[in-house]
Amino acid sequence: RMRIGVLINSSEEFTPGQPLFIFQNLSLGEKAKTPLVVGINGDVTHTSFPFDETFNTVPEGTTQCMFWGLGGDGTIGANKAAIKNLALDDGLNAQGYFNYDSHKEMEATISHLRFGGVPIT
State pLDDT tens for residues 70-91. 998 999 999 999 999 999 999 9
- Whole-model pTM above 0.75? no
Q: How confident is the model at residue 11 (pLDDT cuts 50, 70, 90)?
A: low
State pLDDT tens for residues 25-82. 889 888 888 777 777 766 677 777 778 888 888 889 999 999 999 998 999 999 999 9
How does DSSP assign the chain, residue by residue? ----EEE--TTS---THHHHHHHHHHTTGGG---SEEES-SS-TTS-B----TT---SPTT-EEEEEEEETTSSHHHHHHHHHHHHHHTS--EEEEEEE--TT-TTSEEEEEEEEESS---
